[in-house]
Amino acid sequence: MTGRIAFQGELGAYSHQACHDARPDMEPIPCATFEDVIETVRKGDADLAMLPVENSTYGRVADIHRLLPGSGLHVVDEAFVRVHINLLGVRGARLADVESAMSHTVLLGQCRDFLRKNNISVVTGADTAGSAQYIARLGDPKQAALASPLAGEIYGLDVIARHIEDHDRNTTRFLIMSRELDLKRRGSGMMKTSFVFRVRNIPAALYKAMGGFATNGVNMTKLESYMVDGSFTATQFFADIEGHPDDRNVQLAMEELDYFTTNIALLGVYPIDPARR
């Protein structure tokens, strides 16, 4: 193992799957909350954090955008995980044996067609990996879990049915974060820059701030707003753009953005993951 990477959830969670796929040489460190993940890296007990930011079906992950600006961490990579859902049961269990399936409510909702077709009732669990762990301890072939294949391996469960999700493109995007901001990498492909900002309290400030990206040919791939400190008047924006801060067109766009904002915080510069395409 070369280093440690922290994630939220139990061993076998989809965040653990992301760690396994993107950083297979690192030791995964499970944490109870996103705040715990961030603090584990900040204290030096882990080298990297694996944090989910958005899902292709359910949109952005709650609370993450609020936590990132004050985390003290910086994005060094992105990773995409296809959420393949499997029906896991105790050794020797068959599909005909299964009467109920346990998982997080989000995953249960993604497998409605399969569960209905096979007359399997649902049981809501706290999370996916925890459900797999519970079913393994229970030892009842009539009860199964919906989770990742990695969870099945960890808790000694058989895969009764593979890839049972209703939609075949369900994907979660993760940000890999470090204590250090890395501006040196360029790579052979396109770079992405993530940042947050607040606009000045003047008419059409956001419209004018965005104009610099359009006129300088900078592609903005994400722009999301969210409230700050529970205020209805203070709005912060999270943005992803294609390019590096040293690129001249990005410099010009950011200079124009600066004129119309009260605060800009660079979160990270990193290569675009080929899986994004």
On whether the CB atoms of residues 253 and 218 are closer than 8 A, the answer is yes
Helices (H), the chain: 14-22, 34-42, 64-67, 105-109, 112-117, 128-138, 149-155, 205-215, 248-259
CA angle at 264 for the pair 56 and 71, rounded to the nearest 5°: 65
The one catalytic residue in 128, 172, 193, 261 is 172
160 three-class SS: strand
Q: Is 174 known to be catalytic?
A: yes
Query: Helix, strand, coil shares of the chain as percentages rounded to 5?
Result: 30, 35, 35
The tokens for 90 are 């105790």
Q: Is 80 known to be catalytic?
A: no
The one catalytic residue in 174, 195, 213, 237 is 174
Q: Tell me, what DSSP letter sits at residue 118? A: T
> Which positions are catalytic?
172, 174
